[in-house]
Chains A and B, each alone.
Chain A
């Protein structure tokens, strides 16, 4: 009996070793270990043996069956590996075919630049606040120290809203011409010190390649007891370098704005020609027109009259002071991305927008 077991085991192991496919092995498994195979049936018939032999034969048959099963498993694993390798080789594709299309969206250039500006000023310690786009003459002009005959109030420079029977109050309404109304609106509700920027859409009746009747500004306001013009320069120098590159310089050029005193325009050294006014080939720099400087924004120390217009003792101009600035997001975008015409930004041809996204 034991010899038969050894025979069966040897025959099985030889067949397994000779098998070349997993299918063949499955057949061998059925043949040698299946319900009708001899070896398992030997085991089934162990009870018919002499008690003394039962243990020995049972153990041998069991060992043989396990050994055969292990041999099959090992051989299956071996063959599976090589079969997989073969299958993978056969499964070769042309990797240069295109991928399945996934739409790629994008932010509008103006949003990207706005976020950049916001992030830079957050890093400089400014909070971000926003305001409404319709405004009163009071907040847009009067509270900002604009003389009654200041030209910005003209109908050629400001969109006024038609009188509306639906609205209360005898106020003259307009579309804000700058984000500056939020200076006084914010100070009315917040205690000093104040450090804010105000990004938002503004409106002026202008329309040409570099002016659109709606555009976007970022206002800045910093009020404390000891904020100086030198601080303004430091903040705007930091900003200019973050946006236009670490080698940039700025210069303050005195100007006039009704709501700041002293007022300065900020020029940044030209990032195209490095401030030399000349390109490498000696040609006049087209961006700064040979001056080496590009005007980027208007700013100044907040006029005491603006602080007084807040109407709160906390903003007594003898106690607090500070600076304000206002920049055009479109202007920054134009300078940084070399746009010469603003109008495509509002035409929104997605094929153009995607290039800036």
Chain B
């Protein structure tokens, strides 16, 4: 919302305050400054009024004229001008040498086709006060007493054309601040400056140096204004056939001459970012900017049958809006009919058929309040958030309708030659007799919420400045007790409905700026600490960092083709991606079904930038379009950790072993699988924790399938993927303490030949069982196929360690155990001792 300082100054006394100071106060009371703009000419003092003394064709350029202009100096200035409408005798605005125009262009002495030019005769657009740029601004045609102005008079004395503009960020709860008078009220409350009477009241008109006519004084406060001219307009009728329009009013104006609006109005609209169009449309915009309440002008002679009906649309209805588009409506959206059918998309955009045009002489002025959410939905669906629609989407107070009617009526009379005919047609679901009861604010409650006392007189003062009417129900109640009764002004009624809302008003104006900090007491009698699961997650990450892996953070999003690139069939559960309804792009259309996708993406990104020997891991959420057992109405998601290294299976397995060891998980194993589409069928495994029927699959291990790696332009990569939601609960809080033993261990190695399909895990399991109570550890330290080993067999070298807790092992015990292991291997896996 743009608030030009000079305009704002009409409604609040800004003397002694510059834009920066006003912005600073607003900033700390809840209205943030987006930016401070200087609108218009940057050196306004260098724009003066001039009189064109002579105007001759340029001797060497058909389109240029050479003028002499009296700018109040001893000598007239010669100025070369390209505008077709420049003429002798005109009163004009002249940018003198040194002037800096909007956008930064500096006026210098120049020669144009050989003719000296000392300055520029300005168009309205060059001055930033309007759209007109076909010719220079001839002041004598737009200002009544232009001929009287002495040449050399600063143009600012004639028209305030350059100004500081506060561009304010208005929070969604404050539609009242989408009108300048609302901002003026905030400024008054925040700075202590005096608020002037509202411009839609008699006092406000008087402050502006004018007087009100009938229907031009909407007294502030609650309740509907009563139009002395009655509630009928001859030849016009109105019906509201929906509860979604609390109030709809119409007034009729005759004798309207459509033309440019007064220069001061154009200048103000321009400074506020509104394009001047014509006087009728400009007045509706101007009034909206003051009150926050949108208006719409119909050409009264193009309202068929003189009847307007507000109703809910039926599905599929069509309407031509004034932007030249045909809109298809949905049930429940609001339209305004005349006798020929829909003529306006209510509260959002007028219809083409009834638009005010150059020949309009009779204007039917609509001001209405609407059900905010309904308008929001329509504007949102059609992407039509005009200034009017976005205000109507807030659901403004019905009283504001009267303010806009009153002010617009006065301005139409004063600036468009309009005279009002008849009274005010009014309809809608609003019952002004239903007045919300005052809100109670307990002084004790204020202190309890804010943590600092605010005496009732101070509360009253703060609320009063914001336009609330405050009564102290028990003025004698002791400090810290007592209650205020507060009546909320109409324009704040949607936002302030509860005690807490008033406490917020008190806080933002009077407490927040210098509140003493305190610390709360934790009353849960257990110290705050990460949960075992959270600690285990950190440990898992730290283990991988300790092994030299770099953590990455990939995208949760991927494209629909990712599952296909991973080689997953459409019916693979991992291919069931969660799909976004409104993705930013096709590349980010679904959520990753496995964390491998983002790791491969990161790996490719690094490879293409020349990074070699990549070792990365990631922890993050993956998603599947299948019910989450914890929340059946939501998609399944789980936290995964995965590593990806430019290496072979055993590198990844070593990392997985470190991870499991770091998490103190002993009872785990891998089981070969060739059923995972994105892993090498001969070099992949399922990762299981627990044994037998209780074993839980927690993840996968393997080399990335070469075809898949190739699709990501990667060499051989190995990975493990672990579901942390499954694994972390299996992490023991602590591992039982096991005595190391004071007696020495006995170690020996065995090499056995077994058939090639006997796994190392099986051999170890047999050896472990056969080793009995004395066996402390057995592990495979070498696996060999080739020369010296018969075809189809493998030689496995085992390292065995025996220990007894209470004695040094005797040779016979060691030999006996060795024999038992050898025998078991021979019997159960056909193992033949080598060498």
Q: Identify the A interface with B (CB < 8 A).
A: 102-108, 110-111, 115, 118, 121-128, 130, 132-136, 147-151, 154-155, 159-164, 166-169, 171, 173, 175, 193, 195, 201, 203, 205, 207, 213-214, 222, 224, 226-231, 233-235, 237-238, 251-256, 261-264, 301, 303-304, 321, 345-351, 353-354, 357
Contacts and interface: CB of A to CB of B under 8 A. Distances in A.
B518 A105 contact: no
Contacts of A105: 544-551, 615
B623 A350 contact: no
Contacts of A115: 538
B740 interface: no
B627 A167 contact: yes
Interface stretch (B520-528, B703-711, B784-792): B520-528
A168 B516 contact: no
Given A171-B633, A193-B523, A353 B30 contact: no
A227 B517 CA distance: 12
B553 A345 contact: yes
A213 B557 contact: yes
Interface stretch (B480-488, B501-509, B564-572): B501-509
A256 B634 CA distance: 30
A255 B28 CA distance: 9
B523 A224 contact: yes
Interface stretch (B169-177, B462-470, B761-769): B169-177
Interface string B384-411: 0000000001110000000000000000
B488 to A, nearest CB: 15
Interface string B625-639: 111100111110100
Contact of B508 (A213, A227, A228, A262): A262
5 A-B pairs with least C-beta separation: A103-B548, A228-B451, A230-B451, A169-B633, A254-B508
Contacts of A135: 634
A169 B500 contact: no
Nearest to B631: A132
B581 interface: yes
Contacts of B380: 154-155
14 contacts: A106-B551, A107-B541, A107-B545, A132-B628, A147-B372, A147-B373, A163-B581, A168-B627, A230-B450, A230-B451, A233-B518, A234-B518, A235-B519, A350-B550
Given A262-B500, A345-B553, 20 more contacts: A103-B549, A105-B546, A105-B547, A121-B528, A127-B529, A132-B628, A132-B637, A134-B637, A161-B579, A164-B579, A164-B625, A195-B524, A201-B621, A229-B507, A230-B516, A230-B518, A237-B517, A261-B504, A262-B507, A350-B552
B161 interface: no
Contacts of B32: 253, 255
Contacts of A130: 534
B576 interface: yes
Interface residues of B, number: 95
A261 B512 CA distance: 13
Contacts of A263: 504
A6 to B, nearest CB: 47
B635 A134 contact: yes
Interface of A is mostly: mixed
Interface string B596-639: 00000010011001010011100111010111100111110100
Contact of B450 (A149, A151, A228): A228
Interface of B: 27-30, 32, 171-174, 372-373, 376-377, 380, 393-395, 448-452, 498, 500-501, 503-504, 507-508, 511-513, 515-524, 528-531, 534, 538, 541, 544-557, 576, 578-584, 588, 591, 602, 605-606, 609, 611, 614-616, 619-621, 623, 625-628, 631-635, 637
Contacts of B611: 349-351
Contact of A161 (B30, B450, B531, B578): B578
A133 B621 contact: yes
A279 B546 CA distance: 40
A105 B658 CA distance: 14
Nearest to B542: A107
B373 A148 contact: yes
A332 B556 CA distance: 21
Contacts of B547: 103, 105
Contacts of B524: 127, 193, 195
B450 A203 contact: no
Among A149, A234, A235, A353, the most chain B Cβ lie within 10 Å of the Cβ of A149
Contacts of B633: 136, 167-169, 171
Contact of B555 (A123, A214, A222, A237): A214
Given A159-B583, A161-B580, A195 B451 contact: no
A106 B547 CA distance: 10
Contact of B520 (A132, A133, A224, A252): A224
